[in-house]
Structure 1
Amino acid sequence: MMIRFAAVVAVSLLTLAACDQRKETAPAAAAPSPEAPAPQPVAADVLTADGLGPARIGMTRTDLVKAWGDDAQPAAVGGPDPETCDIFHPAKAPQGVLVMIQDGVLTRITLARGATIKTDRGFGLGDTALAIKQAYGGAVFAQPHKYQAAPAEDLFAWSTGGSTAYVTDPAARGVRYEIGEDGKVAMIHAGDPSIQLVEGCS
């Protein structure tokens, strides 16, 4: 009887020891992973595929005029049919910034001569095509310039809805760097598929 009792006690002690060992070797509960940092807001003076400051691609001309004022030079030639498509510099927009309004909606913002604004990738007028290609890598699509000889070209970087083919999806957004014969950025266009237009509104 005493031997049986000793055996039971021994088995119990071994079982408790095994339980304690399992507790020690059990993996600790994974600590909750820290939340991904929220994306930093883009500065108001930085051009993105979605807009520049208060001027947002897709907004109405009425809202654009409230934000940036109306055409600074109403007598200047804009689009061939201003009711359908108009290009102008709003009175309160930064220097060298042009907007394209198609059917009453802002579809494109252009950085032209005199503009000091940069894109969200840090590029502006005068930067080299090489630097842009290195920064974007495979995300940039090069296309020969329609009117100028190489190294003039157009560099497209679509952020949404774009591809290497001609883009027609109105929800697509991108940036086009227009490169001159000197290999440097001459103009920058940001917005919807209208950034592909090479003759103003056509």
Structure 2
Amino acid sequence: MFGWSNRVLPLLLLGLALPSMGLYLPRPQLPDHTRHWTLHANGYGPIRIGMTVAEAEKWLRLPLLADGPTDSDCYHVSPGAPEPALTFMVRAQRISRVSLFGQSSIHTDTGLQVGDRELQVWKRLGRSVKASPHTYGGEDDHYLTWWRSDKPGHYRGIRFETSNGKIAVIHAGDDSIELVEGCS
């Protein structure tokens, strides 16, 4: 008589009614300690290119969820609901790239973020930015790539994918930033 449906149905109805009443449950957020972290050529905040997923999870204080099997040479992980735009590429069991796919409050250490105008990249990073045509975009879509090196043979960079004159995607990391179809 008082089965599970009598307990679940009121909660389900409440969940459906809240949005129509203008009440929304708060969207999950990244932990407060990450609020001032930025995306940079070496990673995201203290999470560095070359770390393991477990090391990154300790810094985030959140689990990173894989988008598929983790036993392959390359896969992606993300914190999921708290920041769906943020992903980490893992190659050879090490983080090789951090990406922002879509709107996010996260920005680069130079203050750039998804949605900014392409011109801002040039203003902030100058002539060291290399422009190339976007593989799948129109003639006004570009890859704007900036590299730096701490020591010989050790390069890290940031690549801005632009669409219609605005930043659409940002990648930071090693040569993985040049991969255009996920892991290939």
Fold match by TM threshold 0.5: yes
Q: Is the 8 A contact 2:133 2:143 kept in 1?
A: yes
What residue identity is the alignment partner of 1:193? D
Taking the aligned partners of 2:54 and 2:72, their CA distance within structure 1 comes to: 13
**In structure 2, what is the equivalent of residue 70 of structure 1?**
63
1:128 and 1:82, CA in 2 relative to 1: closer, same or farther beyond 3 A? farther
**In structure 2, what is the equivalent of residue 98 of structure 1?**
87
SS in 1 for 2:123: helix
Number of aligned residue pairs: give it: 148
- Give 1:82 shift: 4.7
SS in 1 for 2:64: coil
RMSD over aligned CA atoms reads: 2.4
Taking the aligned partners of 1:93 and 1:83, their CA distance within structure 2 comes to: 25
**In structure 2, what is the equivalent of residue 164 of structure 1?**
none
- Give 1:94 shift: 4.2
Matching of residues 159-170 of structure 1 within 5 Å? 159-160=148-149, 169=153
1:172 and 1:71, CA in 2 relative to 1: closer, same or farther beyond 3 A? same
What residue identity is the alignment partner of 1:174? G
Taking the aligned partners of 2:81 and 2:49, their CA distance within structure 1 comes to: 17
- Give 1:137 shift: 1.8
1:53 and 1:137, CA in 2 relative to 1: closer, same or farther beyond 3 A? closer
Taking the aligned partners of 2:139 and 2:127, their CA distance within structure 1 comes to: 20
SS in 1 for 2:140: coil
**In structure 2, what is the equivalent of residue 177 of structure 1?**
160
Q: Flag the structure with larger Rg.
A: 1
Q: Is the 8 A contact 2:53 2:64 kept in 1?
A: no
Q: Is the 8 A contact 2:103 2:115 kept in 1?
A: no
- The sequence identity of aligned pairs, in percent, is 35
**In structure 1, what is the equivalent of residue 177 of structure 2?**
195
TM-score by length of 1: 0.66
- Give 1:194 shift: 0.4
Gaps of 5+ in 2: 1-34
**In structure 1, what is the equivalent of residue 25 of structure 2?**
none
What residue identity is the alignment partner of 1:176? R
Output one character per residue of 1:162-199: Cα deviation in whole Å (capped at 9) or x when no partner. xxxxxxx5x2100000001x110001000001000000
Matching of residues 89-128 of structure 1 within 5 Å? 89-90=78-79, 94-128=83-117
Taking the aligned partners of 2:148 and 2:83, their CA distance within structure 1 comes to: 24
**In structure 2, what is the equivalent of residue 132 of structure 1?**
121
Determine which structure has the larger strand proportion and give its number. 2
